[in-house]
A and B are shown apart, each in its own frame.
Chain A
Amino acid sequence: MNVGIVVFPGTNCEHDVAHAFGLLGAQTEFVWHRETTLDGLDGVVLPGGFAHGDYLRAGAIARFSPVMDAVADAADSGVPVLGICNGFQVLCEAGLLPGALIANRDLRFICRPVHVRVEATDSVLTRAAKPGQVLRIPLNSYEGNYVRAEEAPRTILRYCGPDGTIGEASNPNGSFDSIAGVTNAAGNVAGLMPHPERAFEDFMTSTDGRVLFESFLSLAEAAHD
């Protein structure tokens, strides 16, 4: 397994993601945003950060980085593609995922663990998880407030309380329908605002992010074979 981790100017979570995939036995490779091919890679991750400074809108300029044509081609051909936080914003701006992300409801930068509930298991990110499973994963964003496109998005993760209850009280950023993560129609492209790579080892107080990356690798393996 060789997972490509796309690095834009301003990306800052690439090493965390590489470390996490390494813990699961996968090889990783950093892909600079000016690259035009993703040949030889079994999956692609757009990690968190501030691509191109997030000027204009988060992800709006990154969408035009040369590598994004290759990401779109990979997505079309069924290769697993995952966007985490800023990567999620980039995938939305690129039209590879529905919706958009705006400033948090309370205009506060949120940096704390949140709970998310697995709403569907037919995606690259959740296929190894159980329906209704509650995961505790850190959120670290200012523009994580999901607004939907005209069509209803395919939701895979929703913010919830520790017991899985969904409501405004457990919605940290005002996201429409408490959406924390969505997938495309084919299920091979997914994005989420919380950071699974920061819930991977015991010292992080939660290892709940592992099941999401295990899902990703299981689809990458299936696509590879």
Chain B
Amino acid sequence: MKAIVTIRRRENIADPEGSTIRRALGDLGFADVQAVRVNRTIELDLQGLDRDEVISQAREMCDRLLVNPVMEDFDIEIVA
């Protein structure tokens, strides 16, 4: 089973990558883009676990390593 963790920097935390991409899009004529946020996704392939166990383990991984709680939030999606 595969879990996709999406890590989002909180709204009140600067996102220099997103700001730079927004400017570049503006330069290319995409004038309607008001803001860009760059998120990070991490795919975890976990075998031999049921859905609840995958979610539980992925959440623990986020809490311990994958996410910095000072500036980031996350969500977990199970695929296939």
Contacts and interface: CB of A to CB of B under 8 A. Distances in A.
Interface stretch (B28-36, B43-51, B52-60, B66-74): B66-74
Given A93-B68, A100-B70, A107 B14 contact: no
Main SS of the interface on chain A? loop
Contact of B14 (A60, A93, A105): A105
Interface in B1-53: 9, 13-14, 16-17, 20
B65 interface: yes
Residue from A57, A93, A104, A105 whose CB has the most chain B CB atoms within 10 Å: A57
Interface string A49-81: 000000011001100100000000000000000
Interface residues of B, number: 11
27 contacts: A56-B66, A57-B68, A60-B68, A61-B65, A64-B65, A98-B70, A99-B70, A100-B68, A102-B13, A102-B16, A102-B71, A103-B17, A104-B16, A105-B14, A105-B16, A106-B16, A106-B20, A107-B17, A107-B20, A145-B14, A145-B16, A147-B13, A147-B14, A147-B71, A149-B70, A174-B14, A174-B16
A151 to B, nearest CB: 10
Contacts of B68: 57, 60, 93, 100
Nearest to B21: A107
